[in-house]
Amino acid sequence: MGNIGCMFNCHYCQNWKTSQVKYLEDRDVHYYTPEQVVDTAVRHGIRCISWTYNDPVVWHEFILDTAHLAKQAGLINQYKSAFYITSEAIDELLPYIDIFSISLKSLDEDYYRKITKGSLQPVLNGIKQVYDAGKHLELSTLMIADISDNEETAMKISDWMMENLDSTVPLHFVRFHPDYKMQDTIRTPVDRLIRAREVAMERGIEHVYLGNVVNTPFTNTFCRNCGHKLVDRFGLNAKITGLDDRGYCTSCGHDAHVKLFSKNKPVPTTDNPELSGYDIRTFDWHGDIVSLHIQLKNNTDEEIKIYHRRRNQDGKYNLWTMVFLIPDESFRLILSKSCNEEIGPEVAIPQGIPNNFHEVFDRAHFPTISIEEGK
């Protein structure tokens, strides 16, 4: 879930059309109550609400209300933030948020002043407060080409983590793409991210991942004792391959520092739906575009079914997955390439249902311009 506005104004923001309110368009705003958010998650079998896209700090009260209800409904809350926030506000979040994924952009005060328009120390204080409270914590650092994608950034952040947190807190080095006020530059070269990962591991951090990079071993989780692959990732997809129910390595029994959700609620699938009265839309993955948002609005007074399936190079298809939308429901599906053999999704939508396809450039990108309108 994302909202409007941010306490920062980062030059590179990939969600500037929603984080910087002057660029917002009314059509991108949909209204929900806390009860509707939780009901939507429960109905769709979603087990974790991630507060993300713009920065959750700016809609603190709504998040507190909703996260409280979500916990009562057995859901997990994840808070993905640049964390320029007061200690009192963190105290209010701690009872309800299960996962804090915090963006630590740099350890350089000048960087924060110039590029984000904020400051560093409150972010560091907040991270420490969450860590001391014993919450699940992960840090991520956007590696901006020729500005922060260097060994010094990796070294300073790792050393700060080893001094103030511990070696088991996961660290993500995230690939940057040119956006907003920083369009006149390049996408971060992957070899610089790989080098940053090596540096962080040499300094003692145990779980270091690359972000916004698809199809690389460095997004997987490996056992740090025996090297067995524990979680296999491709883009936004993850598959557990070597963990037992407690989150330990199935090969050597080592604690992998992984907390597992309860088992998946089965996703409704079918191989032969009745599709008369449906429009079929296809999309081909291409270049860096390996995820798609599909914005839908059920403008009827009946429940409707949407279907989607993966198309593969060998001409074969996966089963159709069903999604039910209640009357008046506004919903965004995220589809994401899951292996090299997959060429793109096929989506079946009842005729007359408003829908827009949006290409997603990177994982926390919330696109507002549809394919039909341009890129």
Residue 15 interacts with ligand SF4 (CB under 6 A): yes or no:
yes
Cβ proximity to ligand SF4: between 85 and 154 the closer is: 85
Residue span 104-123 as binding mask against ligand SF4, x where in contact by CB under 6 A, dash where not: ------------x-------
356 lies in the binding site for ligand SF4 (CB under 6 A): no
Nearest of 136, 139, 4, 133 to residue 62 by alpha carbon: 4
82 forms part of the interface with ligand SF4 (CB under 6 A)? yes
Task: Report d(CA 260, CA 278) in Å as an integer.
Answer: 38
Query: What is the residue-wise DSSP string for 153-195?
Result: HHHHHHHHHHHHS-TTS-EEEEE---BTTB-SS-PPPHHHHHH
CA distance 216 to 140: 18
Rounded distance, CA 338 to CA 346, Å? 14
**What number of CA atoms fall less than 13 Å from residue 326's CA on the CB side?**
7
**According to the binding rule CB under 6 A, does residue 50 interact with ligand SF4?**
no
Minimum Å gap between C-beta 22 and ligand SF4 is: 13
Cβ neighbour number for residue 350 with a 10 Å cutoff: 19
**Is residue 371 within 8 Å of 357, Cβ to Cβ?**
yes
Q: What is the largest CA-CA distance in the chain?
A: 62
Residue closer to ligand SF4, measured from CB, 23 or 317: 23
User: Nearer Cβ to ligand SF4, position 86 or 270?
Assistant: 86
The size of the interface with ligand SF4 (CB under 6 A), counted in residues, is 11
Q: How far is the CB of 333 from ligand SF4 (least distance, A)?
A: 22
Asked whether position 10 contacts ligand SF4 by CB under 6 A, the answer is: yes
Q: Binding residue for ligand SF4 (CB under 6 A) from 37, 49, 55, 296?
A: 55
**Among 9, 250, 318, 321, contact with ligand SF4 (rule: CB under 6 A):** 9
* DSSP character at residue 107: S
32 contacts: CB under 8 Å, gap ≥ 6: 40
Q: How far is the CB of 2 from ligand SF4 (least distance, A)?
A: 9
Cβ atoms 142, 12 nearer than 8 A: yes
Contact with ligand SF4 (CB under 6 A) among 13, 161, 171, 213: 13
Q: Which stretch binds ligand SF4 (CB under 6 A): 7-15, 208-216, 311-319, 337-345?
A: 7-15
The helix-helix angle for 34-43 and 60-72 (nearest 10°) equals 40
Give 342 or 362: the residue with its C-beta nearer to ligand SF4.
Answer: 362
Least Å from the CB of residue 119 to ligand SF4:
13
> Any contact of residue 8 with ligand SF4 (CB under 6 A)?
yes
Applying CB under 6 A, the residues found at the interface with ligand SF4 are 6, 8-10, 13, 15, 19, 54-55, 82, 116
